[in-house]
Structure 1
Amino acid sequence: MIMALASTDWLMAAGWRQGLFIHCIGDDAPMPLPFNVQDPPDCYQARDVAYIRAAAALCIITLLTDVVATLFTGLGLRSKDHRTKYKYYRVAVYIMVLSLISILIALVIYPVCFAAELNEGNRTVWEFGWAYGVGWGAAIFLFGGVVLLLCDKESEEIYYKERKIVHDSDSRA
């Protein structure tokens, strides 16, 4: 998520790269520039558009909640008591689901809202860059983390619910 947040390669066109916080204009950028921008070639703060700000905020929420969920998962792994472990895992799952929902909303609103302003883009070819793909990768890994935590929680329950009682047999000679 840090790479996706820091990159300017969410959306790309000829001479134009746009990230969540910065957009860059290349030296060879054909004129007119997209979205009526009149700046010389360099990198600038991202355009003040609601969907870019919303996607950035949701990605930051994803990063922070993922860190917290990872902390709770670590505490659960460290715990020896199965009840405490279950509580940590349950909290981690809820937080990871919140993180997953946040990144999915960000990854959907970004292209949908961009498509609404596509006519102002002044470019015929637009591509989503590798940073947008990293966001989808993070969503896939978050989903996998939720599934694995749910599976591990159930295996712990099975382990502690099954007990084997061994009786000493009186077959001593």
Structure 2
Amino acid sequence: MFKCGLAFPRCKWILPLLLLLAIIFDIIALAASSGWVDSKYHYASLWEQFRGRDPSWESTSLMEYGWAKATAALLIIGCILLIICFILSIFALCKEQSGLLRVIGIILFVAVLFQFIALIVYPVNFTKTLIKNGNYEYSWSYGFGWGATILMIGCGIFFCCLPKYEDELYGQAKPIYIYG
């Protein structure tokens, strides 16, 4: 006989691991010195931009612009909320506090809102303010910001749905097997 079932107690640590992965993605997006915008003679990060050619690149700070400060602040707030959710998820799953699960989901959705706004504000204002002409690509570290945001959306949905499966999650229900 083939016996298959979902072991919730073993799988409950997947969500904190996904939150940890989102934290890593957020830190990469925040700390990358290049990679948000790339072109042949111009590249930029969240914090500064570089113009010129090899070997002499002229560096200027993007923190002179209000939209760049707002983008950085929103991403940092989103990252802090994500770290708080990670800590709360470990506490909720270790101590079997199912009341915290929906709270974690709601906090994640607030963090997603902050990050989503930041990831839209940056390219719109960067393009309008700093791009004069040429081909520009939003690159790898900008993509890491979107990756963290997408992971946070998925984890938020799961954290909001987990209280429905509280007995299965904490191993208090009998597993249901599929026989084939």
Q: TM-score, normalised by structure 2?
A: 0.71
Match of 1:95 in 2: 107
Match of 1:152 in 2: 162
Rate the CA distance shift 1:25–1:154 in 2: closer, same or farther, 3 A: same
Q: Does 1:111 align with 2:137?
A: no
- The alignment covers a number of residue pairs equal to 147
What does the per-residue CA deviation read over 1:121-155, in whole Å, with 9 as the maximum and x for residues that have no partner?
Answer: 23311110111111111111001111111222211
| In 1: Cα distance, 2:159 partner to 2:80 partner | 19
5+ residue gaps, structure 1? 30-39, 165-173
Q: Does 1:130 align with 2:140?
A: yes
Match of 1:37 in 2: none
Which of the pair has more CA radius of gyration?
Answer: 1
Q: Does 1:9 align with 2:47?
A: no
Match of 2:17 in 1: none
Rate the CA distance shift 1:155–1:125 in 2: closer, same or farther, 3 A: same
| In 2: Cα distance, 1:15 partner to 1:163 partner | 61
Rate the CA distance shift 1:156–1:49 in 2: closer, same or farther, 3 A: same
Within the candidate set 18, 24, 29, 2:44 is matched to: 18
| In 2: Cα distance, 1:151 partner to 1:95 partner | 14
Q: Does the 8 Å CA contact 1:14/1:123 hold for their aligned counterparts?
A: no
Q: Does the 8 Å CA contact 1:23/1:47 hold for their aligned counterparts?
A: no
Q: Does 1:68 align with 2:68?
A: no
TM-superposed CA distance for 1:163, in Å, is 8.7
Which protein, 1 or 2, shows the higher relative CO under an 8 Å CA cutoff with sep ≥ 6?
2
What does the per-residue CA deviation read over 1:41-97, in whole Å, with 9 as the maximum and x for residues that have no partner?
Answer: 2544335112111111111011100000111111110113xxxx1222122112111
| In 2: Cα distance, 1:51 partner to 1:121 partner | 15
Match of 1:41 in 2: 57
Q: Does 1:78 align with 2:104?
A: no
SS at match of 1:138: helix
Within the candidate set 53, 70, 76, 1:27 is matched to: 53
What does the per-residue CA deviation read over 1:101-140, in whole Å, with 9 as the maximum and x for residues that have no partner?
Answer: 01100111112222322xx523311110111111111111
Percent identity of paired positions between Structure 1 and Structure 2:
27
Match of 2:150 in 1: 140
Q: Does the 8 Å CA contact 2:82/2:108 hold for their aligned counterparts?
A: yes
